[in-house]
Structure 1
Amino acid sequence: MGLSALLLLPAFCLLSFAVAASGPLPDPANFLVFGPGLDGRRTLPVRYLFVQMRDTAGRQLDDASLPEVDSDALRLELSAAGSEDRRLRYTSEALRLGGGLYVLRYRLHETVHSDASLSVFYFGMPVAQSPYRLSGPLRDEQCNCPQMDLSGWLDYHGCRSFNYSQLEADFARFSGPAGIQMPIVAAEAAKRFDNDGAYAYCRYVIKDNELYRSCFGKHTGFTFMSDPLLLSLLRKFRAPDLDFILNLGDWPLSRLDRLPHLPILSWCGSRHTSDIVLPTYELTEATVSMMDRIYNDLMRTAHDSMRYRWPNRLSRAFFRGRDSNKRRLELVQLSMAKPDLVDARLTNMFFFQHEKSLGDIVKHVPLGDFFKYKYQVSIDGTVAAYRLPFLLAGGSPVLKQDSDYYEHFYRDLEPMKHYVPLREDLGDLEERLAWLRAHDSQAEKIGESGRQFVLNRLMPEQVLCYLGQVLERYGQLLRSPVAVSQSYEHIKQPSDSDCRCDWTGPGVRDEL
Structure 2
Amino acid sequence: MTVTMIIQLVVFCLCLAILPSCVSYASQDKWDKYLHRIDIANASYTGCGSSDEASSCYADVIADDLSAWRSRGIGKADIERAGATLATRYQVLNHKLYRNPRCVFPARCEGVEHFLLSILKDLPDMDIMINVYDHPQVPKYSQPSPVFSFSRDSHFSDIMYPAWTFWSGGPAVWPLYPTGLGRWDLQRDIITKKADATPWSEKESKAFFRGSRTSSERDPLILYSRKHPEFAAAAYTKNQAYRSKKDTLGEEPAEGVPLEDHCKYKYLFNFRGVAASFRFKHLFMCRSLVFQVGEEWLEFFYPALKPWVHYIPLDTDLKDFDEVLQFVREHDDVAQQIAERGYDFIWNNLQLSDVQAYWLQLLTDYAALLQYKPQLAEDMIEISP
The alignment's TM-score, normalised by the length of structure 1, stands at: 0.59
The question of whether the paired residues in 2 share the 8 Å contact of 1:267 and 1:277 is answered with: yes
Summarize the Cα distance change of 1:307–1:258 in structure 2 as closer, same or farther, 3 Å threshold. Answer: same
Q: How far apart, CA to CA, are the structure 2 residues paired with 1:160 and 1:382? A: 27
Q: What is the aligned partner in structure 1 of residue 237 from structure 2?
A: 347
Structure of greater relative contact order (alpha carbons < 8 Å, 6+ residues apart): 2
Output the amino acid matched with 1:206.
Answer: V
Q: What is the aligned partner in structure 2 of residue 315 from structure 1?
A: 205
**Per-residue CA distance 1:146-199 (angstroms, 9 max, x = gap):** xxxxxxxxx9964165452211211111111x2111x212332344x3xxxxx3
Which of 110, 127, 137 lines up with 1:253 in the alignment?
Answer: 137
Output the amino acid matched with 2:209.
Answer: F
Shifted more, 277-286 versus 441-450: the winner is: 277-286
Q: What is the deviation of 1:294?
A: 6.9
Output the amino acid matched with 1:246.
Answer: I
Segments of structure 1 that go 5 or more residues without pairing to the other structure are: 1-154, 194-198, 287-291, 494-512
The question of whether the paired residues in 2 share the 8 Å contact of 1:336 and 1:358 is answered with: no
Summarize the Cα distance change of 1:374–1:162 in structure 2 as closer, same or farther, 3 Å threshold. Answer: closer
Output the amino acid matched with 2:119.
Answer: L
Which of 42, 49, 70 lines up with 1:175 in the alignment?
Answer: 70
Q: How far apart, CA to CA, are the structure 2 residues paired with 1:156 and 1:413? A: 16
Whether 1:378 and 2:270 are equivalent positions in the alignment is yes
Q: How far apart, CA to CA, are the structure 1 residues paired with 2:104 and 2:95? A: 28
Q: How far apart, CA to CA, are the structure 2 residues paired with 1:439 and 1:429? A: 15
Matches within 5 A, 1:60-459: 158-159=53-54, 161-176=56-71, 178-181=72-75, 183-191=76-84, 193=85, 199=86, 201-214=87-100, 222-234=108-120, 237-259=121-143, 261-285=144-168, 296-349=186-239, 350=241, 353-355=244-246, 358-459=250-351
Q: How far apart, CA to CA, are the structure 2 residues paired with 1:190 and 1:210? A: 21
Q: What is the deviation of 1:366?
A: 1.7
The alignment's TM-score, normalised by the length of structure 2, stands at: 0.77
Whichever structure has more helix as a proportion of its residues is 2
> Match of 2:372, SS?
coil
The question of whether the paired residues in 2 share the 8 Å contact of 1:336 and 1:357 is answered with: no
Whichever structure has more strand as a proportion of its residues is 1
Q: What is the deviation of 1:456?
A: 2.2
Q: How far apart, CA to CA, are the structure 1 residues paired with 2:382 and 2:337? A: 50
The question of whether the paired residues in 2 share the 8 Å contact of 1:324 and 1:351 is answered with: no
Q: How much identity, in percent, do the aligned residues show?
A: 27
Output the amino acid matched with 2:276.
Answer: A
Output the amino acid matched with 1:386.
Answer: F
Count of matched residue pairs: 322
Q: What is the aligned partner in structure 2 of residue 480 from structure 1?
A: 372
The question of whether the paired residues in 2 share the 8 Å contact of 1:384 and 1:403 is answered with: no
Q: What is the deviation of 1:293?
A: 6.6
Q: How far apart, CA to CA, are the structure 1 residues paired with 2:357 and 2:105? A: 29
**Per-residue CA distance 1:2-52 (angstroms, 9 max, x = gap):** xxxxxxxxxxxxxxxxxxxxxxxxxxxxxxxxxxxxxxxxxxxxxxxxxxx
Output the amino acid matched with 2:79.
Answer: A
Segments of structure 2 that go 5 or more residues without pairing to the other structure are: 1-49, 170-181
Q: Once superposed, what is the RMSD of the aligned Cα atoms?
A: 2.4
Q: What is the deviation of 1:227?
A: 2.5
